[in-house]
Amino acid sequence: MKILLWHVHGSWTNAFVRGGHEYLIPGPPHGIGLSGRDWPAAREVDVSEVDADLAVLQRPVEVGLVPTGVPVVYLEHNTPRFPNQVHPLKDWPGTIVHVTHFNDLMWDCGTARTVVIEHGVVDPGLLYTGELPRAAVVVNDPVRRGRAVGTDLLPRFAEAAPLDVYGMKTHKLGAMGRGDHDLGSLHRELALRRLYLHPVRWTSLGLSLIEAMHLGMPVVALACTEAVRAVPPEAGVVSTDVDELVRAVAELVADPALARQKGKQAREFALARYGLDAFLRSWDRLLTGVSG
């Protein structure tokens, strides 16, 4: 099957293009193309000349760019800004795919058919050593996004352990900012830290959290949005009590054996729920049904 999709979320696309199809990625002026990614099954195309069997859309603007007659599904990555926000494609006759059950619950999609296909991750392997008694955080643009991603909470957690914050524009955080990294480098850096901290109040479930669990890292997370489903008790500590989470960070930093044990459980859970094979099978079932 030839599948047209835009390169919007690189980590998600990195998993999606591992299926057994040909992936057509629009380049300029209507997309960013491969942008240097090594995706053997994907090729950069001019959207005006594309010959696709199906399109996976991720932004409303893409609806008008799909060639006439090509079946489409719409993939919604994001959590709504508030629980009764109307989706841009409310009452659409097609299918809207959500990446988490929380997002499906919160978006008002009206009569549109909705399906949940949870994230899948290309397994980076068990890289965890946890040799550095520090906590790792991954978030893009933390200063601008502020409370939504828990930037205001970082000083409280820093009292329990040194923090290393990775992602775009993290240099604005000062000493704890570690900047943006390519995926391989990021995974190696994370795996050296004792634990993964997820201080996010209100975003869709970040792939970096799932990747950290695949690496074998224990997790301390706010019990918000999909985190309560993604992180089981044996993999770390999930709570809305920030003091409890601060204590959990301190405990894991002080006890490498406990951190390693919880990280092992985190990896096993992540492989079972967010493994690549299950993700691709779910998408194949959906796409086969839509393409007819």
φ, ψ for residue 161 (rounded to 5)?
A: -165, 150
Nearest to 291 by CA among 54, 61, 66: 54
Q: Is the pLDDT of residue 292 over 80?
A: no
Q: Give every CB contact of residue 243 below 8 A, 6+ residues apart in sequence.
A: none
What are the structure tokens assigned to 200, written together?
Answer: 């996010």
Q: How far apart are CA 115 and CA 69, in angstroms?
A: 22
How many other C-beta atoms lie within 10 A of the C-beta of residue 200?
Answer: 25
pLDDT bracket for residue 206 (50, 70, 90) = confident
- Domain residue ranges of the chain, discontinuous segments joined by +: 2-120+276-291, 132-274
pTM (2 d.p.): 0.94
Q: Is the pLDDT of residue 112 over 90?
A: yes
Q: What is the pLDDT of residue 111?
A: 97
Q: What is the pLDDT of residue 160?
A: 98
Judge whether 2-120+276-291 and 132-274 match in fold. Answer: yes
CA angle 12, 18, 19 (to 5 degrees): 110
The average pLDDT across 243-253 equals 98
Residue pair 33/83 in contact (Cβ under 8 Å)? The answer is no
What are the structure tokens assigned to 209, written together?
Answer: 């959290």
Give the number of residues written for the chain: 292
Q: What is the pLDDT of residue 258?
A: 98
Q: Widest CA span of the chain, in angstroms?
A: 60
pLDDT bracket for residue 284 (50, 70, 90) = very high
pLDDT bracket for residue 79 (50, 70, 90) = very high
Q: What is the pLDDT of residues 162-189, one digit of tens each?
A: 999 999 999 999 999 999 999 999 999 9
Q: How far apart are CA 65 and CA 47, in angstroms?
A: 7
Q: What is the pLDDT of residues 13-58, one digit of tens each?
A: 999 999 999 999 999 999 999 999 999 999 999 988 889 999 999 9
Domain 2-120+276-291 CATH (choose: 3.40.50.2300, 3.40.190.10, 1.10.10.10, 3.40.50.2000): 3.40.50.2000
List the CATH code of the domain at 132-274: 3.40.50.2000
Q: To the nearest whole percent, how much of the chain has pLDDT over 90?
A: 95
Residue pair 99/78 in contact (Cβ under 8 Å)? The answer is no
Q: Is the pLDDT of residue 126 over 90?
A: yes
Q: What is the pLDDT of residues 2-15, one digit of tens each?
A: 999 999 999 999 99
Q: What is the pLDDT of residue 43?
A: 95
Q: Is the pLDDT of residue 68 over 80?
A: yes
DSSP 8-state symbol, 87: P
- Span of 47-51, 222-226, 228-232 with lowest mean pLDDT: 47-51
